[in-house]
Amino acid sequence: MTAEPPRHPAQGPWTTLDVRVDAPVAWVRFNRPAAHNSVIPTMMIEIHAALTELARDDTLSVVVLTGAGRTFCPGADLTAALTDHNPDLPPVVVYQSATLLHEMPQLTIAAVNGGCAGAGFAWAAACDLRIATARARFSVAFPQLGLTSELGLPWTLSRALGGAAARDLCFLPAKLTADDARRIGLVARVFPDDRFEAEVDAIVTELGSRPRRAVRGMKANLLLAERSGLAEFVDAEARRHQSFFTGSARAESMRALQNQGLQLSQPETTEPRS
């Protein structure tokens, strides 16, 4: 009888998340579909713990964040907040889950499969890439609730969209359609609802098939570009680039280059003109 592989530490057990790890890809799914994946303090604690464990895993190159059912994450569970007069607020440190999504060595992707607001919007904005289904809707939501932002949302929006657009969304928060979000640069790609899961799977499979060090190295370059001058960045970038042609990384780099060379050398087929 074959023993089951050991459970990954990032898999919990959790009560608000479903985490699946199949290196080099991990999926983190908000898992409160009966409550539309709305946020409670336990979810804040669990997502921080799960992302912390995933960030430590050197076998992973891609982490995907999505929601169970037809909703991504609409923000706080207002029903619970209104009925619980003494909420068990999470420790301040767990708000760094957004920092983890932005800075962890793996490429992070928000697969936005429906409504995305408040904390859900902040988590999506902290990811490297955002892909949305056509029915997705985005809203900052905090001002309407009489709250300031959380989870670093103004910081991530300012860097993704620029200061003026970030201020417009934060002070005059309109509900954005998926196409609106793509138009302003918040979302990279939008797919029809009936094709969304298949298209996301294809993108994730393609990224997961690439050399792990290359994906993680590109993420490291992008993070460095945010906080360094050009000369400093180019120096570090060149050193990282050269490291792919020495030591144990050389064979993997050569295989990838050869495969890409073969693909580029294939002639394109064109349909005969009528």
Q: How many residues does the chain have?
A: 274
Tracing tokens 């999504």 back to the chain, one arrives at 101
Residues 97 and 160 in one domain: yes
Structure token digits, residue 188: 């990279």
Q: Strand 176-177 to strand 137-139: parallel, antiparallel, or no bridges (unpaired)? A: antiparallel
Whether residue 37 is found in the same domain as residue 129: yes
Same domain, 248 and 189: no
Question: Given this model, what pLDDT does residue 272 score?
Answer: 44
Termini Cα distance of the chain: 62
Asked whether residue 75 falls in the same domain as residue 184, the answer is yes
Name the strand (E) or helix (H) holding 138. Answer: strand 137-139
Per the domain annotation, does 23 fall within a domain?
yes
Q: Which domain holds residue 128?
A: 9-209
Residue 81 forms part of a structural domain: yes
Please tell me whether residues 247 and 125 are part of one structural domain.
Answer: no
Q: How far apart are CA 6 and CA 12, in angstroms?
A: 12
Instruction: Judge if 198 and 257 occupy the same domain.
Output: no
Q: Is there a single domain that holds both residue 171 and residue 238?
A: no
For residue 270, tell me if it sits in a domain. Answer: no
Low-confidence ranges of the chain (pLDDT < 70): 1-3, 81-87, 247-274
Number of domains in the chain: 2
pLDDT tens digits, 39-55: 999 999 999 999 999 99
Query: Which residues are CB-neighbours of 274 under 8 A, at least 6 positions away?
Result: none
